[in-house]
Structure 1
Amino acid sequence: MARSSGLVAGLTAAALAGVGFLAYKAEASVSDMKARPGANTSPGKTAPKTPVNPLALPTGSGSGERVVYGLQSRRVWLVENKTNKVKHTFQVMPSTVNPKPGTYSVTSRAGKIPGSDGVAIEHVVRFAKADGVTIGFSAAVNGSMAAPNPKKKTGGVRMTRADGDVIWSFATVGTKVVVIP
């Protein structure tokens, strides 16, 4: 037992040393770039932006309790009311018909129904209409998140069954849904 504890401690120390070395090298590279004027920019171009955390709640996505749906990022954030913190975030597969950016409300829900594409779905949370199609979040009972047939007008924004369970508990009728580009 003591030998395995020593092995784990040794491996942990080696890993920490490796991380520290990589951090030092990264800082040295950044310092070197800062020391050379124009090294990280070209004439007429601005310096590269710091990468943004794709899981972070986008700015300008409203306030209060809400579901935020990012069309381009294909991501949903569930935001708590009092703390304005993300309770849960997950990837989705958009439908062929998308709502315009704006603020909506959950209008209705259904436990388990056939989807507009013929796939059995559950945890349906409807919030918008566009181009004559009802749009809502749902999870395929078979667990698939396949891209929809581009020749069909569908409004189901698909997610995993586990994420469907979470949004079903969170987004009751009247809950705000903010759609962002």
Structure 2
Amino acid sequence: MAGSSSTFVAVLTAAAVATVGFLAYQASASVPADLAAPRASASASTTKAPRDTRNPTALPAGSGTGARVVYSTADDRVWLVNADGRAEHTFQVTPGSVDPLPGTYAVTSRSGAVTGTDGTPIEHVVRFTGVKGVSIGFSAAVDGSTPAPDPAAKTGGIRASRADGNAVWKFATIGRRVVVIR
């Protein structure tokens, strides 16, 4: 009797796994295009959000709504934007050698302290996408350095000062939107 009940449990488990897999496939196939992962396009990669020329640190128009992190690859600047749409904090960053494509992402993982791909001890790592196997995210070097990236190495770390890295760490929790603009 014990053997037949374990077989029954195994069959039920297999059926449940198959059902969940089928439902996951159906859900992913029916995601509206505007919620799917950002796709590269010629216009998206060349579009630059309008800037206030009198105030270059002002939050760019067209960078989304609500609470979010806005990152400009053209200006090497980050804005932490609250739910009311006001920038709470803005700062310069030093990007890695690999830039994310313009689009909307979400924070997917965080690490308190790791070693960067360049061998530098880093803290407050907030990852939000990847490009061809390179993880892209914000971080701060423990020694406070923000060296220019080695163009020969594929790095996705967007380095901030320790104070700014701490601000990102507190603000950009798992699931927080990250809007990348040119």
Let me know the Cα RMSD of the aligned residues.
1.3
Structure 2 residue aligned with 1:85? 86
Task: Confirm whether residue 160 of structure 1 aligns to residue 176 of structure 2.
Answer: no
Structure 2 residue aligned with 1:124? 125
Q: What is the CA deviation profile of residues 28-49 of structure 1, one whole-angstrom value per residue up to 9, with x for unaligned ones?
A: xxxxxxxxxxxxxxxxxxxxxx
Question: CA contact under 8 A between 1:96 and 1:152: conserved in structure 2?
Answer: yes
C-alpha displacement of 1:51:
2.9
Structure 2 residue aligned with 1:98? 99
Structure 2 residue aligned with 1:59? 61
One-letter identity of the residue aligned with 1:161 = R
Larger radius of gyration: 1
Superposed, which structure 2 residues align to 1:28-67 within 5 Å?
51-67=53-69
Structure 2 residue aligned with 1:11? none
One-letter identity of the residue aligned with 2:58 = A
Overall identity of the aligned pairs, in %:
59
Q: Secondary structure at the match of 2:97?
A: coil
Q: What is the CA deviation profile of residues 5-62 of structure 1, one whole-angstrom value per residue up to 9, with x for unaligned ones?
A: xxxxxxxxxxxxxxxxxxxxxxxxxxxxxxxxxxxxxxxxxxxxx8331110001100
Structure 1 residue aligned with 2:145? 144
Q: What is the TM-score when the length of structure 1 is the normalising length?
A: 0.71
Runs of 4+ in 1 over 2 A off after TM superposition: none
Question: CA contact under 8 A between 1:77 and 1:86: conserved in structure 2?
Answer: yes
C-alpha displacement of 1:78:
0.2
Q: Secondary structure at the match of 1:135?
A: strand
Q: What is the TM-score when the length of structure 2 is the normalising length?
A: 0.71
Structure 1 residue aligned with 2:18? none
Gapped regions of structure 2 (runs ≥ 5):
1-51
C-alpha displacement of 1:155:
0.6
Structure 2 residue aligned with 1:33? none
